[in-house]
């Protein structure tokens, strides 16, 4: 199947879709964590989003999708310097991936056959300017998680080993998905995700039927289905691009900042990353809505996604952290 399932054809799961759109508007929000049951369209929506986004312009031969010749890392031997349009990269990080495959390593066959020291870029290079998707992120091995944390924060991948000393840009939106029943995520990694979304299988039977119907149409009547939904996707793309342009104009008043801080204090979130992300996401959301100022309405809508994973874990609170955030939002932003 060449074309992924269209983003706008995904039924329901509005919070997840919104979170993904916001990271497309402002990649600085810092990634989305999607926790939920199997078969709820987690991977489908990541792949769909990439197909939805406008292509990036990159140097054809550059291993890390640099935008111009000057941006290319000096170790890369670039044979093809033409600028081409590439789809936004979505790189899968499989669970068993080794450190070498993730960060890159010495190109062994060249070292041995030609006696040259060359660097073989890894998944992080390929994900630059795009998305790094980790399914079952909660089962990822700890040392890979450590690597990712480091790179996700600095936006740069530094390799110092086996006689190599190499760095390249690795700015990507981290999208992780997983099933919380199979293991928790380490708090350090949890905090690095800007937004966190909980998805569940739709309970509403009509919604379920609609999901299956669309999926079935996608598989059996591919062309007709795509013809219908490509238009919708194009409209959404236009909106995202408009929001990107508007993003700088969106103002956040002192009151909005105060609201962010009060929310985080009320929830007892550790650190200041909560406020920062909340504000950034709310700004992106305002831009998406075409507003030029962040209002309480925007904060209210975004707060659960931006804050629910930053609370102290309480194994006995069966209500779930989403509800706790909503409660706090109702109190603080009353």
Q: Kindly list the catalytic residues.
A: 273
Shortest distance, position 205 Cβ to another protein, whole Å: 6
Are the C-beta atoms of residues 329 and 311 closer than 8 Å to each other? no
Q: Cα separation of 252 and 274, whole Å? A: 16
Quick one: 74 or 318, whose CB is closer to another protein? 318
Q: Cα separation of 245 and 21, whole Å? A: 14
Quick one: 81 or 162, whose CB is closer to another protein? 162
Are the C-beta atoms of residues 10 and 49 closer than 8 Å to each other? no
Q: Cα separation of 312 and 187, whole Å? A: 9
List the structure tokens of 76.
Answer: 């890369």
Taking the CA atoms of residue 297, residue 298, residue 301 and residue 303 in that order, the dihedral angle to the nearest 10 degrees is -110
Are the C-beta atoms of residues 124 and 102 closer than 8 Å to each other? yes
Shortest distance, position 262 Cβ to another protein, whole Å: 26
Shortest distance, position 246 Cβ to another protein, whole Å: 35
Q: Which positions touch another protein (CB under 8 A)?
A: 1, 37-41, 43, 92, 94-101, 105, 108-115, 135-136, 138-139, 141-143, 162, 179, 181-184, 186-188, 200-202, 204-206, 208-209, 211-213, 215-216, 219, 315-316, 318
Shortest distance, position 237 Cβ to another protein, whole Å: 24
| Strand, coil or helix: 34 | strand
Quick one: 189 or 306, whose CB is closer to another protein? 189
Helix then strand count (H, E) for the chain reads: 13, 11
End-to-end, the C-alpha distance of the chain in Å comes to 49
Quick one: 105 or 124, whose CB is closer to another protein? 105
List the structure tokens of 267.
Answer: 């929830």
Are the C-beta atoms of residues 128 and 136 closer than 8 Å to each other? no
Quick one: 8 or 179, whose CB is closer to another protein? 179
Are the C-beta atoms of residues 168 and 125 closer than 8 Å to each other? yes
Structure letter (DSSP) for residue 63: T
Smallest CA-to-CA distance from 117 within 150, 85, 154, 162 is with 162
Are the C-beta atoms of residues 35 and 196 closer than 8 Å to each other? yes
Quick one: 55 or 183, whose CB is closer to another protein? 183
Shortest distance, position 144 Cβ to another protein, whole Å: 10
Shortest distance, position 32 Cβ to another protein, whole Å: 19
Are the C-beta atoms of residues 13 and 203 closer than 8 Å to each other? no
């Amino acid at each position: 199947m060449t074309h992924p399932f269209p983003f706008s054809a995904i039924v329901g799961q509005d919070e997840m879709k919104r979170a993904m759109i916001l990271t497309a508007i402002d990649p600085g929000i810092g990634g989305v964590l999607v926790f939920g049951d199997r078969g709820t369209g987690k991977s489908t929506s990541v792949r769909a989003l990439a197909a939805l986004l406008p292509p990036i312009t990159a140097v054809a031969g550059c291993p890390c999708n640099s935008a111009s010749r000057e941006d290319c890392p000096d170790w890369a031997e670039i044979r093809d310097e033409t600028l081409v349009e590439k789809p936004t990269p979505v790189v899968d990080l499989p669970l068993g991936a080794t450190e070498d495959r993730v960060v890159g390593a010495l190109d062994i066959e060249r070292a041995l056959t030609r006696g040259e020291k060359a660097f073989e870029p890894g998944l992080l290079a390929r994900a630059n300017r795009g998305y790094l998707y980790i399914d079952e992120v909660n089962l990822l091995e700890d040392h890979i998680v450590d690597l990712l944390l480091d790179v996700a924060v600095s936006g740069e991948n530094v390799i110092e080993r086996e006689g190599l000393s190499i760095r390249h840009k690795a700015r990507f939106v981290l999208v992780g998905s997983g099933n919380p029943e199979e293991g928790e995520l380490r708090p350090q990694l949890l905090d690095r995700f800007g937004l966190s979304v909980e998805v569940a299988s739709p309970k509403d039977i009509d919604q379920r039927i609609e999901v299956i119907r669309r999926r079935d149409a996608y598989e059996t009547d591919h062309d007709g289905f795509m013809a219908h939904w490509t238009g919708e996707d194009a409209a959404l793309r236009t909106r995202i691009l408009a929001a990107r342009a508007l993003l700088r104009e969106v103002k956040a008043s002192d009151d909005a900042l105060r609201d962010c801080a009060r929310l985080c204090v009320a929830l007892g979130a550790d650190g200041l990353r909560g406020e920062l992300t909340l504000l950034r996401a709310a700004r992106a959301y305002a831009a998406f809505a075409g507003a030029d100022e962040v209002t309480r309405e925007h904060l209210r809508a975004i707060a659960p996604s931006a804050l629910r994973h930053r609370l102290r874990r309480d194994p006995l609170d069966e209500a779930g952290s989403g509800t706790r955030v909503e409660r706090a939002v109702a109190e603080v932003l009353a």
